[in-house]
Amino acid sequence: MGFRFRYSTRLGPLRFNFSKAGLSSISLGGPGASFNVPVARAGGPRATVGLPGTGLSWSVEQTPAGGLPNSRRLKSEQLAALKQQLLASLEQHLFGPGQPGEALWRKGLLTRLLADPALSARHASLLAAIASPQALKDYLMGARTQGDAKRRAQRCMDAVAEALRMGPPA
């Protein structure tokens, strides 16, 4: 388990909540009822009502504009929709007509790079995720959480950049 840093300070009725990254949220209220508005965290405002001293509370978070809750545990249909959106975005902005990765698939550059015996295992693993449209889809759809899907999408973008940097093998 990693260490966490949390600090808060009050200024009148407002509580400023800090994390190691800086100001994370501002809260209004106190024991029994509070309203928390995020500043540097994902998600929407949260209202909490509780019985002081008992440890019992009830919290409701308003869904952010994108419709996804501030949670890594999305419902299966929400996670599937997120993965489809990420896939469509990657296909359009990386591999679509006129985009940087288009030639990687059209000219078979990734296949040639992957066949290069001098390619390191790390680079081969990175490039295999985007070797073909089906490989990209399989890789992205294999994500199990919202964070995993975002990391995989970022890894695909990194793979395109790395493949373009490497160029076709000699």
* Tokens encoding 168: 């076709």
Checking if the pLDDT of 161 tops 50, the result is yes
Residue spans of the domains in the chain: they are 6-61, 76-166
- Which of 21-25, 119-123, 132-136, 152-156 shows the lowest mean pLDDT across its residues? 21-25
- Rounded to whole angstroms, the Cα distance separating 63 from 166 reads 42
pLDDT tens figures, 26-75: 888 877 888 888 887 667 788 888 888 887 888 887 765 444 444 446 67
Longest dimension (CA), the chain: 70
Q: What confidence tens digit (pLDDT) does each residue in 128-146 have? A: 888 888 989 999 999 988 8
Determine contact, residues 140/149, Cβ cutoff 8 Å: yes
| Residue 142 confidence (pLDDT) | 92
Classify residue 134 as exposed, middle or buried by CB count within 10 Å of its CB (0-12, 13-18, 19+).
exposed
Mean pLDDT of 7-34: 83
Alpha helices by DSSP H, the chain: 76-93, 102-106, 109-115, 121-128, 133-141, 146-166
Report yes or no on whether pTM surpasses 0.75: no
Question: Which residues, 6 or more positions from 47, have their beta carbon under 8 angstroms from its beta carbon?
Answer: 33, 34, 35, 36, 59, 60
Query: What's the pLDDT tens digit per position in 73-86?
Result: 667 888 888 899 98
